[in-house]
Structure 1
Amino acid sequence: MAIFSCYVDVERFLGEPVKELALFLSCLRREDRLSVISTIARFFQEVDHLSEFYRFRKERKEEFLSSLPISSGERNALWHLIENFFLRQSENSSGKPIPQDDLIALRKGRLFEELVYHLGPVSKEKVELTSMHCQPMVNRKRVEIRCKNRVLSNKNLDVVFWGKGYVEGYECKGNVQFFLELGLRGGERGRKVREKVMYLNQLGRFLSFFFREVRVYLASFAPDVDLKRCRELALQYVRECGRRELHFEIITVEDFIRYL
């Protein structure tokens, strides 16, 4: 039987505000988890910039907190963590300050990865090992993923869970529809989006030859996306590789939590 494993090249920058908020949300009571995380995800979908956070805090903070099905103490603790998430300054690994709006966007993606890591996998009884930022390996060799004559390797999955004959991998995006729409553009940015989608599809298909059950997800932290449109765009991109079906599933954070 084939052996799955991960090669991790570089750990990504992750600050305390992300870790603290992710742990708080991961430790919520099961009956509160979907409601609270969905509300937070919609808040993050709406508030992208520091100026928008200041406006939200002034005009809508109390309404937002009162909608959460948790105690007043938990609401206060959560708001403190949210403020740190948006306002705490940080530097990158080279010691250079990161513009706060860029830092907020970076933290959103890292937060979703951490939530998937702490709350997953979907099939807990089948999983023995977990990795973040994983370049998949089969029988201790990094897999080579191709689209016709194009090599798509040296890419990774944000979170992977695996066990005997089972692989469950996640590519996490703040807003998957926004991500996929970028693939319609020309230039380097659009090309990278299309290649990532091709990679996910070819990877899902490739791994299915070696393992009994393979689940690859392209997951959106933003819950309010048009999944039909997302699938149409993904199919458009994978046709470049001669594929007519998706070998990965597009889901939202709400789908992920419901699966647990």
Structure 2
Amino acid sequence: MRRTQLLVTLIALAASAPSSYAQTATPQAQTKPPSLRAALDSCVTSPLPIKRVATFVGSMPAHPDAERMRIRFDLERRRPGERWQRIRAPGFGTWERSAANVAGFIFRKRVNGLWVPASYRARVRFAWIARDGSIVRRAHARTPACAQPDLRPNLVPATLTAILDAQPGIAIYTLVVRNTGRSAASAFSVRVGSGSAELGSLDPGESHTVAVLAPACHPGETIVAGVDADRRVEESVEHGNVTRRRCPLAVA
């Protein structure tokens, strides 16, 4: 006899990069079987990869001719300018099986460490299995997408000016640094020529003028200026941190 009061909920945790994978089963009393659905349970964005999380859920009611139910999640990703593609992730792409003779089956999958910018969704497949192992019904659905924008900071060196210092052969360079990203940048270095300085932090959309003492360049020469040379700040764009400019000192 089917136990209409028992619904087994299984929760699976997975990551998009190789990491630990675990699942737990928790019996829950239910008065009504779950509906057949595939849903996005939660979507958490963050500048930090480990905190970018998408949780998908699939649920299915029992079938009168089936003894068990199965659910399978396949993870799909779409990057800007690309089509949806299936990608691998631990815990995805395998069938999860319910206990026998339960009123319904709910299963959750969570993936973190998501690449950005991109959107993620799950294709969820359902199967109802008879006592002899035959499949009495199949179904499938896709969840809504979890959009993951790139929230990391982006440091950009901008205007460079200079004046001669009182010390012979030394110049005071001023470099405007901008954060064109979507989150604050923590402390980073600013370099002009062989000189360097530190900036404590920089909020998104803000700019700051940093003074750097370094040997004076000669008019007509090229001088290198850059930010975050030691890569302490994880940025959305890493290749725009260095610029080469004409020596800003005027001809004497």
- Band of TM-score, shorter chain: under 0.3
What is the TM-score of this pair, normalised by structure 2? 0.20
Which has more radius of gyration?
A: 2
Structure with a larger share of its residues in strand: 2
Bigger RCO of structures 1 and 2 (CA < 8 A, at least 6 apart): 1
What is the TM-score of this pair, normalised by structure 1? 0.19
